[in-house]
Each structure stands twice: as C-alpha cells, then as structure tokens.
Amino acid sequence: MNVEVETVRTVEVPTRMVHGPGAVSRLGELARELGVTKPLLVTDGGVVAAGLADRALQYLENAVVFDGVRANPDVKLVGEAGLAYRAAGCDGLVALGGGSSMDTAKGVGVEVSNGGSILDYEYGGKPVTRRVPPLVTVPTTAGTGSEVTLWAVITDHKRGIKFNVGGTPLIGAHVALVDPELTLGLPPAITAATGMDALSHGIECYTCDYHQPFNDAVALAAIELTARWLRIAHEDGSNLEARTNMAHAATFGGLAYGTESAGAAHAMSQSAGGVHDCPHGALTARVLGPVCEFNAPAAPERYARIAQALGADVHGLPPLEAAQAGIEELYRLTEDVGIPTMEELGFSEEEIPLLARIAFEDPQTVGNPREVTTADYEEIYRNVFSWGK
C-alpha cells in the first residue's frame, strides 16, 4: 500500500525562521515583537566562555541569564532552570547554544505553561496542551535541528535513558534565529558530530515509515548539503559559506522530523546516550552506517536516492547496489570527519545485550523501515563495534 496516497497527513511548522550571517543582531526586536519584556537566556558555560552570550546580550534588554545547562540535560536541570524562570518573573525564553540548551529551554517552557515536572510529559504520558511561552532558539552549533524540531530530549538518570517530550507544535519555538557566524569558532570534533547528526536526521526521516513528501524534500536537502559542506566546515571552521550551508542542513534536518520520530539509529543513540554521557551526534553517526546496511533491503529505492544525495556515482546500478554505494560514501564521510569509535565514546562490547535491549524499548524503533528485534540490534551493534577493525 502506498501510504502517501492512502493517508491524510499534516504539515505544521510553528516556527518563523530568521537566518543568515549577522542575524543575531535581530534578537532584541524579535523578542520585543513576541511581547517579551524579561527573557530567560538559557545557555551553558562554554557558550559564555566563547563570548557568544555577551554577543547575544548586547541585543537583548533586561535578560536574566541561566548558564547552568550541561550536555544531555536531565530532569533536575530542567527543574532548576524552570525555578530560575519563575523566581525572576520572566515572560519568555531565549535558548542560546546547542541541542542541550534548546531542549532545556523547551522543557522549561513545557513546565511553565503546563505545570508539574517535565517527567510528566514523556511522550505517551500526560499530553502537552498549552504552548510554551514565547521562545527564540539561537543555535550555536549546526546539526541538532532543535531550533525547529517539535521535540525535547531529556535524560532520566533513574532509568538510565533519554526520553522525548513533544510531537506537537505546542513545543516548537516561535522564532529560530539561525546565525552561522555563531558557529565559526566551533572546534572540529563538535562540527563533525553535530553535522553528522543533521545528516542522520535527513537519512532516518527520509526512510522512516512516517515519511511524506514535505519531509522528503527537506530531508534530501539536509543530506545533500551535509555531503557537500561538512568536510569543508570540519577542515576550515572559518569558512562562512560552509558554516552557512551547514546551518541550513541542520534546520532542514530538524524540519524533516515534522511531528514524527526517526528510526533505529536514533533509537540506539538515544537509549545508549542515557548509559554513557557522550555527544549525541557522534554516537548517532557511529551507528548510522550499520543501521543503513540493515535497513536498505527493506527500502532499496529510498536508499538509492540517498546515495545520489550523498554524491555517490550510482549510474546504471540496480537500487540495492546503488544503496550500498551510498552507504560506502556514508562510511567514508564518517571516517573523514573523525567520528570517534564506540570505545572512544565510552562503550564496551560487553554492553551489547544491554544496549540492544534498551534500543528495542526506545519508541523510535517503531518507525524504522525494517522490523528490528532485540537480536537484530545485537547484530547491528556487533557490526558497529567491528567497523574499521
């Protein structure tokens, strides 16, 4: 059955996108237009040390700064930031940073508008029924796409997993202010990891069961731009053209999600990311190739189209062979930008049974284009660990 013609689908993008080099200078007027008189600037120490918080604050009146965001934000952190918001009497949010700052701000927004703890709003639990307060997302990395996604990913240390909140436009930012100049100073390893995250959003959203034409278009754009520009941004961080195109790739990758989720690579990286604290993009990139190899026989035409977007020469090849050429290109890109191994990310092969079990339990397993069992995940993880050895 062709899902695209048999099913009524919706596309809703609640976020106005303001983008381009120097866009951050619009921050003050955008906050004012949203009626914000006292924003909470949600950020982290690294962003402050890089001078980016000062840069944003010069355009922002009357802001209260919360700079306590840590990578992979947890339930407690969201609660603390929410407390800071209420204590200072804030009436809006500006998230300045990577996915962690943006997801923390979304979490604060959900708590402030809907009450209770972010833990209550795990997808499938209590629904988010009220829109977050005016929220401007200002990414300082290029990859997570959180500036436009309808999701926040929060860590629950008690269960050792990350969980999702959202899947509704009510959590989406009011404005995404995307200024590639803010990413000029990013170190190569972060450029690589976040850029590969954008690519993985494109690949997983293009192939997942929920794909639809709108998502297809932006997903392919994310893949093409990453394949064309990530190596350049990684080698020469000061290349503004590469940074600008990677910023677009990130936003396209975020839009590719829509209200849906990704697939097995994100099920693996999201669940494993709750076991060892490590960069989400690097972990996703490490598992993505073996996941694509597993999935390709279930959707060869889609993976063949991805191969074209990655720039692989697929002329005259049947779909599955074209798909394989694309996967080889994906492996090359992953190596070229120096994505760490599983061991370097803190994992060991002894953990495979645990990692496979929690990946299977992750909700993003459901949208994967090929049915995947716990045993399949164990096999995929074995391939992930043996890659390059």
What sign for the dihedral angle of Cα 203, 365, 107, 174? positive
Distance of alpha carbon 186 from alpha carbon 89, whole angstroms: 33
Q: For the chain, how far is it from start to end, CA to CA, in angstroms?
A: 41
Binding site for Fe ion (CB under 5 A): 197
The least distance separating Fe ion from the CB of residue 344, rounded to whole angstroms, comes to 19
Alpha-carbon Rg for the chain in angstroms: 20
Question: Which residue's Cβ lies closest to Fe ion?
Answer: 197
φ/ψ of 16, rounded to 5, equals -80, 135
Q: How far is the CB of 240 from Fe ion (least distance, A)?
A: 25
Q: What are the backbone angles phi and psi of residue 165, rounded to the nearest 5°?
A: -125, 135
Q: What are the C-alpha distances in Å from 287 to residues 9, 88, 272?
A: 30, 42, 11
Closer residue to Fe ion (CB): 183 or 324? 183
Residue 152, token pair as written in the block: 């926040």
Shortest CB 280 distance to Fe ion, Å: 6
Nearest-angstrom CA–CA distance, 100 and 103: 5
284: nearest Cα among 192, 378, 366: 192
**Opening angle at CA 254, ends 249 and 256, nearest 5:** 95
Q: Is 378 exposed, middle or buried (0-12, 13-18, 19+ CB in 10 A)?
A: middle
CB 267 to Fe ion: min, Å? 11
Nearer to Fe ion, 82 or 263 (CB): 263
Max CA pair span of the chain: 64
Q: Residues 303, 207: contact at Cβ < 8 Å?
A: yes
